[in-house]
Amino acid sequence: MFQPENKTTLDNGIRILTHNMPYSRSVSMGVLVNAGARDELSAESGLSHFIEHMLFKGTKRRSAYQIAKEFDAMGGNTNAFTSMETTCCHAKVITSHTGTIADLLSDIFLNSVFDTEEVEKEKPVIIQEIGMVEESPEDYIHVLTGQCCWGDNPLGSSVLGTRENILVFDSNRIKDYFMRRYQPQRTVISAAGNIEHDHILDIIGPAFETPERGSGFPDRIAPEVKSGVNVYEKDLEQVHICVSLKGLPLTDHNRYTFSLLNTVIGGNMSSRLFQEIRERRGLAYSVYSFISSYTDTGMLGAYVAVDPVNAVEAADVIIKEISKLKEHAVDSGELKDAVEYSKACLLLSSESTDNQMFRQIQNEIHFGRFVPLDEVIKGIESVRKEDILNLSRNLFDSNNLAITLLGPVSGAKQFRNLLAI
């Protein structure tokens, strides 16, 4: 479980990683490109996500129905996702289907035709997806929080894009964007399970040797964090609240401290926010904190949904609990519990082929190397309570604090009074 993965870099820059888990009966395999929604111009917003959909809609060898049928015939799990910085297709199957899943993933990634008719059929599907997010307050408040925190920077846009953009995208535009952004040197193929590296190279390497290297990739622009109160009135039973603050990039040397800070403030049931807002005051069913980190910036956020009459109190509690972290060092026992919780989450998830497959991709993209679990555990265990205090003092400032509200909110004035920390 702790052994390094094997790595081969093809002549065009595509990296193939494998992690042998000899006692597993499954194989997880994914093709991930380091390109996502933040790499789109305003008029391109939604193209990466549209491409994710279209990868399953027909190739030179298979129709959309044949792709679906072959995936289903293997059982297991097949999925894809688009994030701010990546696009990925992946699957988990039993070991005997390793060759088939390698062929399917190669085909949809290298040979998708982006057929005009399929593009037009997919437009209403994606527009429905946009509507689903907007009708789910907990999902939508996170989209709105991104807009409020990052402003006009692409990080502030929705991964799904806009309805207006979706309606005007066509086959040629999708093909052109795919060729420009989905470059071999930004592509990583990862497999984990009961496999051998040379076998994976034999079954997937020849197909992925064919694409030519790209001609360059635009620089990503790190946004300035916005502050203030943003109210989105909507007829709902609850007010959904997100408090956001400046965070850290994914590779920052304080990333372990930042992760434990998140655990302490709202990362589990014994966290400060859960105990104060749900257990002691009974204000909410759902309350938690979260981290959104990218290559060059990040956010710490806290979410709660409450009865409208309790909205100000709930927001006030969140901000006061955050302020406490910069005023007093956490208790030694509280830090120890957060460390043990984080270690357990890491080690338990490491038994999953999916987790190992994704983990080695992320290590490769962000660190350019294999990061052993022992190294991560050592980093977690090395965090001192003074580290959390100092990081809180460096990050938590009124100039980096925003409150986003969705629901029946009468006004923003009473929330603006809470912004000083």
Query: CA 124, 292, 127: angle at the middle one, nearest 5?
Result: 5
Compute the distance between CA of residue 243 and CA of residue 406 in angstroms, rounded to an integer. 12
Please check whether residues 100 and 237 belong to one and the same domain.
no
Please check whether residues 122 and 249 belong to one and the same domain.
no
Determine which of 3-17, 101-115, 303-317 has the lowest per-residue pLDDT on average.
3-17
State which residues form the domain around 300: 228-416
pLDDT mean over 22-49: 97
215 part of a folded domain: no
CB 355 within 8 A of CB 184: no
Q: Which amino acid is at 192?
A: A
Please check whether residues 202 and 234 belong to one and the same domain.
no
Residue-wise pLDDT tens digits, 154-179: 999 999 999 999 999 999 999 999 99
Please check whether residues 275 and 392 belong to one and the same domain.
yes
421 part of a folded domain: no
Helix spans in 80-181 (H): 98-111, 116-134, 137-150, 163-168, 171-181
C-alpha torsion sign, points 10, 12, 13, 17: negative
Please check whether residues 197 and 235 belong to one and the same domain.
no
Residue 209 is a catalytic residue: no
pLDDT mean over 137-155: 96
- Of the three residues 175, 208, 241, the one that is the final residue of a domain is 208
90 part of a folded domain: yes
pLDDT mean over 49-75: 96
**386 is written with which tokens?**
């003074």
At 1 the pLDDT is: 43
- Of the three residues 208, 237, 260, the one that is the final residue of a domain is 208
Q: What is the largest CA-CA distance in the chain?
A: 64
Please check whether residues 198 and 253 belong to one and the same domain.
no
Q: 407's torsion region: left (phi>0), alpha (psi -120 to 50) or beta?
A: left
pLDDT at 268 over 50: yes
What CATH number does residue 110 fall under? Answer: 3.30.830.10
- Of the three residues 208, 238, 259, the one that is the final residue of a domain is 208
pLDDT mean over 149-154: 94
- How many domains does the chain contain in total? 2
pLDDT mean over 224-237: 94
Q: Is 197 helix (H, G, I), strand (E, B) or coil?
A: helix
Residue-wise pLDDT tens digits, 363-399: 999 999 999 999 999 999 999 999 999 999 999 998 9
Please check whether residues 47 and 167 belong to one and the same domain.
yes
State percent of the chain over pLDDT 70.
Answer: 99
Beta-strand runs (E) in 184-275: 187-193, 228-233, 239-246
pLDDT at 39 over 70: yes
Please check whether residues 197 and 241 belong to one and the same domain.
no
255 part of a folded domain: yes
What are the residues facing 405 on neighbouring strands?
A: 231, 241
342 part of a folded domain: yes
223 part of a folded domain: no
pLDDT mean over 138-151: 96
**How far is the CA of 136 from the CAs of 131, 140, 347, 403, in angstroms?**
9, 6, 33, 19
Please check whether residues 300 and 397 belong to one and the same domain.
yes
pLDDT at 3 over 60: no
CB 265 within 8 A of CB 391: no
Please check whether residues 285 and 164 belong to one and the same domain.
no
Compute the distance between CA of residue 195 and CA of residue 92 in angstroms, rounded to an integer. 13
Q: Which of 5, 40, 52, 85 is catalytic?
A: 52
**How far is the CA of 98 from the CAs of 28, 195, 248, 366, in angstroms?**
9, 8, 38, 27
Write down the mean pLDDT value for the chain: 95
Please check whether residues 105 and 191 belong to one and the same domain.
yes
263 part of a folded domain: yes
Which uninterrupted H or E stretch holds 32?
strand 26-33
Residue-wise pLDDT tens digits, 195-209: 999 999 999 999 999
217 part of a folded domain: no
At 4 the pLDDT is: 55
**Band of the pLDDT at 305, cuts 50, 70, 90?**
very high
Please check whether residues 136 and 250 belong to one and the same domain.
no
pTM over 0.85: yes
Q: Smallest Cα–Cα separation from 288: which of 269, 275, 305, 303?
A: 303
